[in-house]
Structure 1
């Protein structure tokens, strides 16, 4: 009772508080005159309780003074809505087109060629499977259940931990096809019976694993749905974190990414071709013969080539900025040792250090291009990179000859040491961290190895042609072109330097020209490999003109040789299409290993062959060079035949008739013929 009394007293105290004043608005009295009919309607409307005349008149005036939106505004709003719907429709159509293209490329890559005996059976089985596919597509369309949307929602539910919801959804999806199969009738059952149980199992298992097996599809999110501890490192391999920032602008890419790596490649080309200018001074000071001169020049290619694979792995893992910045310091040390060498072994060690230090210059530049530039502009950017880098070959001609006469070869290498240190610091300070998008980060988990490169049919088709042509062109231009012009053409020092300068300019222009041609023809669906084969044919003809001493201006064949050295624009652009972006440095390194390995073999081999003839007055006979160059032509011709072998087989099959049991003459349209048969699973 006491508690109730206290509660009542508390209520009395609460009720005793003054009530808050209601907020009122100032009102003015306005006299208006209305017609009798409007006054009558106003009286009828205000008969209901709670509605006054002032309230009603005020509401009517408010509605009159704030009219509804105009027809134009409504039409504009509706058109904006239609426009947004069309944007979503365009996005969905692009998604569908990309999905179909990726699936088609995957199927073309993994489908083996069909033998002549099994082509009819394969066509019949494909027709039956297509009927099943059409029925499934029709069911999906009628039920309005997009498979892509279902999969995306399922992945989202898995990432949020909705395991029970996913299980119920799968049960529903399983029940619906069963009900549909029961209604489908004997036709669908008969089609399903056309596939043996093993093929049915493989097909269902392939449907489940397609996302993980396709080269361009992301991994199954169930493999990544494990919880990550709060203090754990989500990137245990030490790779760069996935950047969430916007891509670099065009000018920033050029100034802070492209030009620093182009400067590094410029130094690599300068170190590569400088031996043609300093070899007479080295031969006179150290008493070197042709074999020793060839070994000194080719050891650069040997070390350069052997370092391609390890440097490629480091570039993919650590990024081009760190790797290239450190390697150029090694090159600067090698230049310092070369400038202070007092014996032939010291020259060899210093030359090897230079080769190791600049071994990543080209690959780092190509890696940066693949990472930051659009894929359709890779060939053009490669052309500009190699064009600017090949200006080092231009510098190694007349400018280097002038510096040699003015300061000597030892002081020249002191200048190169300072420049190499400067470029190393520029790359390490100016170049930003590599940009890795989520697609690359996901694809990086796929089990790709170097064996994936060297066992790829497309790589095996293009690698011999690229290595024999580009490696031979490098070997000739960096050393033996100067010797040919002196011993065979009989040119003096000034004329020889002019020819070498012209060749260096041809190398630079060739890189830019080939990149632009590849970029233009790519839009016309002409593959880069075809252009590379054309360059190989021209290079072989130019060497034949030199070997046979065809009466042509010597500048013409040597200009073609220099342009062939720029064909890396084409081969690296082709290899970039074969493998994922995060594997670019290793795939380029695998090809570059063959380039420099062949350059070492040819450069040393030419010196070995030429050395079999006795020198006469410090000059070797023309037949020695013709024999050595002729061997190069033989290897290049064999590589061209190997590259063109699929077309040769196809031409022979069409010219001499297909064997019995093939599709020829069976009335089957050409679209049903095995499209992968001519190149044995290749991509062209």
Structure 2
């Protein structure tokens, strides 16, 4: 009995640093919105430069997803998490000390590489340490803690930057990141005692062959490409607005100071956190349909982007509602993973979801980058970005989200 309780405590204790690592991943990817103006000023950046700088995280993150599963099978999830975490810590320090655009981009690339295994590595460890019937609960715990990183990247970050400056804040964050990595090194194991993984290594060649066959099956499924397109534009437009361009938009169009911008931006992650359980419940219990719920969510997500185009004036209170709605309806994206998983054999479900995740993260890279390039085409107004530039960029997001909504109409779903 005592031994069993000790094992449970060890497993729960393992979850804490792994969840905090995922929190840092969410923080890093969303922090650009608050510090965008500081970055443009300190590093003499144009809008296109800022877009590329922020998107560098997502480009690196997305590319690493391709060999991630095989690397974890070969080297172990803990070892890969620690190796990449060192790159991430180095990236945070490099970014904080950057005195040029290339150095800042290098820092963001290292951050993207460093965080690429935070969630998938944790999922890998969950499958080894926890019974299959507890995976959803444990993964839900990790996601709940991790999503708080998006909240910390808004008002709390703004207040810290207002007090210390963005460089000192990121150096402090790098120190906390290092302490979490040490915690993982000391408190996390790849597998329980007595389970050496020899059987896994025996089947390694077979797994490689099965993996390639699984990828082929995923890519041959027409619905995969419609889901991938919807995921690409859904997350790409969301993180580009909430994680980058909403910050400068609030400063230029509404003249909000730093802390007020952070408070307003907090509506995005709060909406996202609220929406996750709602869309899961609607999909599982009410509609019993992945396609209907996701399509409705995508349509409402698109609708809430429309006011940002600027056809009519918006009060700051109405902006809070709009930002909350964008976050709320963007959370329908989680149902896309359930949709693709159910269209394929369970043996390649992980491959299918990883493929969708590749397009999801790739969307973040593409839209942050392309929106910066579009904004840069507009002349500055009194030394600042123009409101017309934001209207055009948000119009691009609206059109892309509408395309994703239409694409989802062609997705199939497995009927129970």
Q: State the TM-score, normalizing by the size of structure 2.
A: 0.84
2:145 aligned with 1:388? yes
Alignment of structure 1 residues 167-182 onto 2, 5 Å: none
> Quick check: 1:255 aligned with 2:13?
yes
Distance in 2 (alpha carbons) for counterparts of 1:290 and 1:359: 26
**For 1:273 and 1:267, how far apart are their aligned partners in 2?**
10
- Distance change in 2, residues 1:638/1:405 (3 Å): closer
What is the deviation of 1:338? 1.7
Q: Alpha carbons of 1:578 and 1:428: their partners in 2 closer, same or farther (altered >3 Å)?
A: farther
CA contact (8 A) 1:382 1:569 kept: no
Contact map agreement 2:37 2:248 (CA 8 A) in 1: no
1:541 aligns with 2:310: no
Corresponding pairs, count: 402
Q: Distance in 1 between matches of 2:103 and 2:284?
A: 48
Contact 2:158–2:259 (CA<8 Å) still a contact in 1?
Answer: no
Match for residue 431 of structure 1? 188
Taking the aligned partners of 1:260 and 1:458, their CA distance within structure 2 comes to: 37
**Rounded Cα–Cα distance in structure 2 between residues aligned with 1:381 and 1:528:** 22
Change (3 A) 1:612 1:519: same
Which string of whole-angstrom CA distances, capped at 9 and with x for unpartnered residues, describes residues 325-360 of structure 1? 221111011112222222111111111111111112
Q: 1:406 to 1:293 in 2, by over 3 A?
A: same
What residue is the counterpart of 2:120 in the other structure?
Answer: 363
Q: Secondary structure at the match of 2:266?
A: helix
Given that 2:91 and 2:111 are in contact with CA atoms closer than 8 Å, whether structure 1 keeps it comes out as yes
Query: Are the equivalent residues in 2 in contact too, given 1:315–1:585 (CA < 8 A)?
Result: no
Greater RCO, 1 or 2 (C-alpha within 8 Å, sep 6+): 2
- Quote the residue 2:90 is aligned against: 333
**Which SS does the other structure have where 2:300 is aligned?**
helix
Deviations along 1:420-458, one digit per CA (max 9) or x if unpaired, are 222222223323334799999989486232333322344
Q: Is the 8 A contact 2:268 2:324 kept in 1?
A: yes
What is the alpha-carbon distance in structure 1 between the residues aligned to residue 6 and residue 340 of structure 2?
Answer: 25
Structure 1 Cα separation of the partners of residues 236 and 128 of structure 2: 26
Q: CA offsets, 1:526-585, max 9 Å, x none?
A: 134433323212211111232244757111121122234544533334444456677565
Superposition deviation, residue 473 in structure 1: 0.7
User: SS of the counterpart of 1:307?
Assistant: helix
Per the TM alignment, residue 374 of structure 1 is displaced from its structure 2 partner at its CA by 6.4
Contact kept? 2:155, 2:261, Cα under 8 Å: no
1:533-682 to 2 correspondence within 5 Å?
533-547=295-309, 548-549=311-312, 553-577=318-342, 586-645=351-410, 679=412
1:506 aligns with 2:268: no
Structure-to-structure mapping, 1:403-414, within 5 angstroms: 403-414=160-171
Aligned with 2:377: secondary structure?
coil
CA distance in 1, matches of 2:117, 2:384: 36
Distance in structure 2 (CA, Å) of the matches to 1:369 and 1:457: 31
**Residue aligning to 1:320:** 77
Which residue number corresponds to residue 683 of structure 1?
414
Q: Is the Cα contact below 8 Å between 2:36 and 2:50 reproduced in 1? A: yes
CA distance in 2, matches of 1:248, 1:593: 38
Partner of 1:522: 284
Number of the residue aligned with 2:52: 295
Cα distance, 1:625–1:525 mapped onto 2, change above 3 Å: closer
Q: Distance in 1 between matches of 2:284 and 2:132?
A: 11
Alignment CA distance shift 1:317-1:532 (3 Å): farther
Q: Would the aligned equivalents of 1:278 and 1:409 in 2 still touch at CA under 8 Å?
A: yes
1:478 corresponds to: 243
**Alignment check: 8 A CA contact 2:293 2:332 kept:** no
Q: CA deviation digits over 1:582-626, x for unaligned, max 9? A: 756544432222112111111111111111111112433333222
Q: How much does 1:522 deviate?
A: 2.5
Displacement of 1:289: 1.5
Larger Rg: 1
Contact 1:462 1:643 in 2 (8 A): yes
User: 1:453 and 1:248, CA in 2 relative to 1: closer, same or farther beyond 3 A?
Assistant: farther
Equivalent-residue separation in structure 1 for 2:261 and 2:191 (angstroms): 43
Q: Distance in 2 between matches of 1:540 and 1:490?
A: 26
Distance 2:35 2:404 in 1: 33
**Deviates most, 401-410 or 351-360:** 401-410
Q: Find the aligned partners of 2:6 and 2:287 in 1 and give their Cα distance.
A: 29
Change (3 A) 1:492 1:412: closer
Matched with 2:102 is 345
CA distance in 2, matches of 1:318, 1:576: 26
> What secondary structure, in the 3-state scheme, does the structure 2 residue paired with 1:447 have?
helix
Quick check: 1:495 aligned with 2:260? yes
Counterpart position of 1:84: none
Aligned to 2:36: 279
- Secondary structure of the structure 2 residue equivalent to 1:411: helix
Query: What TM-score results when the alignment is normalised by the length of structure 1?
Result: 0.53
Matched, 1:310 2:72: no
- Secondary structure of 1:448 counterpart: helix
